[in-house]
């Protein structure tokens, strides 16, 4: 490989001692391609295997931990023990190719899709309706506020899903506290208007995410026979007022650092995007976060990084240790291998509509790639 790209291939050791072979992570991306019973499909296993030879760690599409938390068509589940064989197949398809396998766990909360969940009843921290412009679905349903007992049960179910991930052979879990899902809903002053122990002040809005982390760590200590990764993904700001600001994200970061996680994963679409509000700075969100966290916990950066030059620049300019690639690894499954072998000029940057079989992308995901304008760089043929 070229000398300039060597920083991408230095090993990195997480806080729990797990060593990653390089600095590239596959970002979690929904495939919409599970079987009708919410087990992982053969096409998904092939898709993951095709992309698991190069990255040090592959974070799966999010798996729901309660039946009323399902947010996508064709999503595989982690909410019951009968799903363990399915999860084991996912973990094996990744690990057999050499990457660490991390299962992303989540609950959609008010962003669960009504026709996919029992009785069509969405739930959240509070009865506050979401914005309508939520990606693939427009959800205008006002959720029901969870009772105290239901919040406690939800925390336990994150732990139960973690146990299933351990039994299925995963190397870790990532708690999905980004993209407006339930962990973010409890932290956000927009979606959490509670006045009990789960909401009100900033400190109380942190109670639920911290409780989920503590339960997850308890299960890991009890069930894992070897070091097991725990990460947390967050979105640093919200567009709503009131909503999460950079200053509030700094408070969340302090809480996550104190919880001794193995990594914190940003959930942003542009690595170099600037803050909306809450700080007076010309630096990007990633630069501010990297500076604030320092070496206290590893940060995974993400967001429209396409080329190895951009990946190196992101590492060196911010000092963060890890970069996640999302769409880039769908467009070019061998992105990491081509850089390592000195063939970076052969990296594909656009999608040929005739290359579905070559790229090994499941049909439901492929249809969306072809039909959602602007999502992927599709060639005109």
Q: What percent of the chain has a predicted confidence (pLDDT) above 70?
A: 98
User: DSSP of 53-119, one letter per residue?
Assistant: SSSSEEEPPPEESSGGG--STT--B-SSGGGHHHHHHHHHHHHTTT-EEEEEEE--GGGS-GGGSGG
- Which CATH superfamily includes the segment(s) 3-371? Aldolase class I (3.20.20.70)
pLDDT at 183 over 90: yes
* Average pLDDT for the chain: 96
Instruction: Compute the average pLDDT of residues 209-227.
Output: 98
Between 80 and 131, whose confidence is greater? 80
Tokens of 367: 């249809």
Strands 19-20 and 12-13: antiparallel
- Model confidence band, residue 291 (pLDDT cutoffs 50, 70, 90): very high
Active site residues: 181
pTM: 0.97
Determine the pLDDT at residue 179: 94
Cβ atoms 58, 25 nearer than 8 A: yes
> Model confidence over 127-139: pLDDT tens digits?
999 976 656 667 8
Average pLDDT of the segment spanning 357-362: 98
Gap between the Cα atoms of 247 and 114, Å rounded: 33
Q: Quick one: which of 96, 121, 119, 107 has its CA closest to 153?
A: 107
In which band, very low, low, confident or very high, does the pLDDT at 381 lie, cut at 50, 70 and 90?
A: confident
Tens-digit pLDDT profile for residues 81-98: 999 999 999 999 999 999
Confidence band, pLDDT 50/70/90 cuts, at residue 215:
very high
The whole-angstrom separation of Cα 200 and Cα 90 is: 39
Assign 140 a pLDDT band (cuts: 50, 70, 90).
confident
| Predicted pLDDT of residue 277 | 78
Question: 302: which 2 tokens?
Answer: 């993400």
């Amino acid at each position: 490989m070229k000398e300039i790209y060597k920083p991408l291939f230095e090993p990195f050791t997480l806080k729990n001692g797990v060593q990653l072979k390089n600095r590239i992570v596959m970002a979690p991306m929904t495939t919409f391609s599970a079987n009708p019973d919410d087990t992982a499909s053969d096409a998904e296993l092939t898709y993951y295997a095709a992309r698991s030879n190069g990255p040090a760690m592959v974070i799966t599409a999010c798996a729901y931990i309660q039946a009323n938390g399902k947010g996508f068509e064709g999503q595989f589940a982690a909410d019951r023990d009968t799903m363990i064989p399915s999860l084991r197949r996912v973990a094996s398809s990744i690990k057999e190719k050499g990457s660490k396998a991390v299962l992303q766990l989540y609950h959609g909360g008010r962003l669960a899709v009504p026709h996919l969940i029992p009785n069509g009843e969405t739930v959240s921290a509070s009865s506050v309706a979401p914005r309508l412009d939520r990606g693939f679905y427009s959800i205008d349903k006002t959720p029901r506020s969870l009772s105290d007992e239901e919040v406690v049960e939800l925390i336990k179910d994150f732990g139960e899903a973690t146990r299933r991930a351990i039994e299925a052979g995963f190397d870790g879990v990532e708690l999905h506290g980004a993209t407006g899902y339930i962990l973010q809903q409890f932290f956000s002053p927009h979606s959490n208007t509670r006045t009990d122990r789960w909401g009100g002040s900033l400190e109380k809005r942190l109670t639920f995410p911290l409780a989920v982390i503590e339960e997850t760590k308890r299960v890991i200590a009890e069930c894992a026979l070897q070091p097991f990764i725990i990460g947390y993904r967050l979105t640093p700001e919200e567009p709503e007022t009131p909503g999460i600001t950079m200053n509030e994200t700094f408070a969340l970061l302090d809480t996550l650092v104190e919880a001794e996680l193995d990594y914190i994963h940003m959930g942003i679409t542009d690595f170099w995007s600037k803050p909306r509000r809450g700080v007076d700075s010309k630096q990007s969100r990633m630069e501010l976060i990297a500076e604030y966290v320092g070496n206290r916990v590893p940060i995974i950066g993400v967001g429209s990084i396409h080329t190895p030059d951009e990946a190196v620049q992101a590492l060196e300019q911010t000092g963060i240790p890890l970069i996640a690639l999302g769409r880039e690894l769908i467009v070019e499954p061998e992105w990491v291998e081509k850089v390592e072998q000195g063939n970076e000029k052969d990296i594909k940057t656009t999608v040929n509509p005739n290359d579905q079989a070559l790229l090994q992308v499941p049909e439901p995901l492929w249809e969306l790639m072809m039909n959602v304008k602007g999502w992927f760089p599709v060639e005109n043929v």
